[in-house]
Amino acid sequence: MSKLAVANFVQALVAVLAGNVLYFLLLPHLPPPARHVPPRLDLGMLVDFWICLVIFGAIKTVAGRRSKVSSDTTRRHNP
């Protein structure tokens, strides 16, 4: 497995775990239609998915900026 694939897997795993923790912390404050009722497919699952997706996007944005800053720094020191 490539280093990039492992990094992507770890980022996705962190996003899903953090997103679910956040969803369950927010659950008591969500309106009843936005609360997931297992085992149904409902709006609550969509809200949970959206939270995970936003966190994944944030992680990818931060990781992308870090790699860009790292590559810019490397270029400055190694002409």
* Whether the predicted pLDDT of 66 surpasses 90: no
In sequence order, the 6+-apart residues with CB closer than 8 A to the CB of 63 are 7, 11
DSSP 30: S
Lowest mean pLDDT across 19-23, 38-42, 44-48, 59-63: 38-42
* Whether the predicted pLDDT of 17 surpasses 60: yes
Report percent pLDDT > 90 for the chain.
72
By residue count, the chain amounts to 79
Which pLDDT belongs to residue 77?
58
The single-letter code of the amino acid at 60 is K
Which pLDDT belongs to residue 65?
87
pTM value surpassing 0.85: no
